[in-house]
């Protein structure tokens, strides 16, 4: 049974097949069709050790639209507070009959560790779907961002993003979204440039196959999409001054006006309006931010359909 642990190193055929499945499921995400029943009898457990709005809800809705049952466990109120390890919790959830575990955890590598623990001990098939592990990866977000950009630039037939240049803006160093985005977008042929102040956008990111820049105003006129990232106060409390950050890197109306016609703005949420992005850009004509949310349901349906045993 496949797990979904990350996009770095994912075979391109698997990525394209998840995207194609998600594209075909868009009408179900938009609720234009009655729910499918293809995973009736499967049980999905959301195991969230960090907060979430979009990811948790969209995995829940996606599982239900496939006919699966869903149960939720959050860190507060679980036996994690009594010292149970993540790996024991994952084994326990499988023993309770889960066929899929959607896992979010503050530790980078948590999803890989949980998958190894399940694979090492005998038990019924149970897939781990990584819903964000520390600063490492957030694969369903990477897939939904690629789908959103492909849709905006009429690349849905084959997901070939060749010729497109995408900027990932802001707190890249702390962002698991950025790592999954870079992997997905470059695998599909786009060129990616990460932009931010040196502390949040170090040159070492280039090892992931992207460019880096500290000059947003130089980059903006050349890009076809900007993914604006949240400043992760919980992971980078050292941001010296929000005002200095905004002067150099806030995506505001004046900067948005200098983007190419047809270029789009994304944000994985939750937004700090007035910090990394202004409200008029978030709500403006270039914004695909709420479309990302809708497409996220289609992507999570596709990933659950792939990972859950029939």
Contacts with ligand ASP by CB under 6 A lie at 132, 138, 176-177, 230, 232, 268-269
- What is the DSSP annotation of 99-159? SEEEEEESSTTHHHHHHHHHHHS--S--EEEEEEETTTB-HHHHHHHHHHHHHHTT-TTT-
Q: For ligand ASP, which residue has the nearest CB?
A: 230
Residue 139 or 197 with smaller CB distance to ligand ASP: 139
Q: What is the DSSP letter of 50?
A: S
**CB-wise, 43 or 171, nearer to ligand ASP?**
171
CB of 132 to ligand ASP, least distance (A): 4
The CB-of-175 to ligand ASP minimum distance in angstroms stands at 7
Radius of gyration of the chain (CA): 19
Which of 119, 205, 143 has its CA nearest to residue 170?
A: 205
Helices (H) and strands (E) in the chain, counts: 11, 9
**CA distances (Å), origin 191, targets 79, 91, 107, 150:** 44, 40, 29, 14
CA end-to-end distance (rounded Å), the chain: 10
CB of 18 to ligand ASP, least distance (A): 19
Q: For ligand ASP, give the closer residue by CB, 42 or 225.
A: 225
CB-CB contact of 209 with 236 (8 Å): no
At 22 the three-state DSSP class reads helix
Instruction: Give the residue among 23, 26, 305, 6 at the shortest CA–CA distance from 177.
Output: 6
Task: Output 6 or 269, the one with its CB closest to ligand ASP.
Answer: 269
Closest separation between CB of residue 271 and ligand ASP, Å?
9
Q: How far is the CB of 80 from ligand ASP (least distance, A)?
A: 19
CB closer to ligand ASP, 91 vs 231: 231
Task: Give whichever of 139 and 268 is closer to ligand ASP, judged by the CB atom.
Answer: 268
Q: In what order do the strands lie in the sheet with 100-105?
A: 69-74, 43-48, 100-105, 127-133
CB of 55 vs ligand ASP, minimal distance in Å? 6
């Amino acid at each position: 049974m496949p797990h979904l642990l990350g996009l770095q190193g994912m075979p391109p055929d698997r990525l394209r097949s998840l995207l194609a499945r998600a594209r075909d499921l868009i009408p179900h995400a938009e609720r234009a069709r009655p729910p499918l029943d293809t995973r009736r009898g499967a049980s999905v457990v959301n195991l969230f050790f960090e907060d979430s709005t979009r990811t948790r809800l969209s995995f829940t809705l996606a599982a239900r639209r496939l006919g699966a049952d869903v149960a939720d466990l959050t860190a507060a109120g679980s036996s994690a507070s009594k010292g149970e390890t993540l790996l024991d919790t994952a084994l326990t959830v499988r023993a309770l009959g889960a066929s899929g575990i959607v896992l979010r955890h503050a530790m980078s590598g948590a999803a890989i560790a949980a998958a190894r623990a399940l694979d090492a001990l005998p038990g019924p098939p149970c897939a781990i779907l990584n819903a964000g592990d520390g600063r490492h990866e957030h694969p369903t977000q990477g897939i939904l961002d690629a789908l959103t950009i492909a849709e905006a630039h009429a690349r849905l037939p084959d997901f070939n993003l060749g010729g497109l240049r995408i900027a990932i803006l802001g707190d890249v160093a702390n962002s698991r979204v950025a790592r999954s985005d870079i992997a997905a977008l470059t695998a599909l042929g786009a060129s990616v440039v990460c932009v931010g102040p040196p502390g949040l956008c170090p040159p070492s990111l280039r090892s992931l196959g992207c460019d880096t820049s500290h000059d947003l105003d130089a980059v903006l006129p050349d890009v076809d999409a900007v993914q604006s990232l949240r400043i992760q106060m919980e992971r980078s409390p050292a941001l010296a001054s929000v005002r200095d950050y905004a002067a150099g890197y806030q995506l505001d109306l004046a900067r948005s006006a200098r983007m190419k016609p047809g270029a789009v703005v994304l944000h994985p949420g939750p937004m700090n309006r007035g910090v990394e992005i202004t409200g008029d850009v978030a709500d403006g004509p270039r914004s695909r931010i709420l479309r990302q949310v809708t497409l996220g349901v289609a992507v999570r349906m596709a990933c659950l359909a792939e990972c859950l045993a029939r």
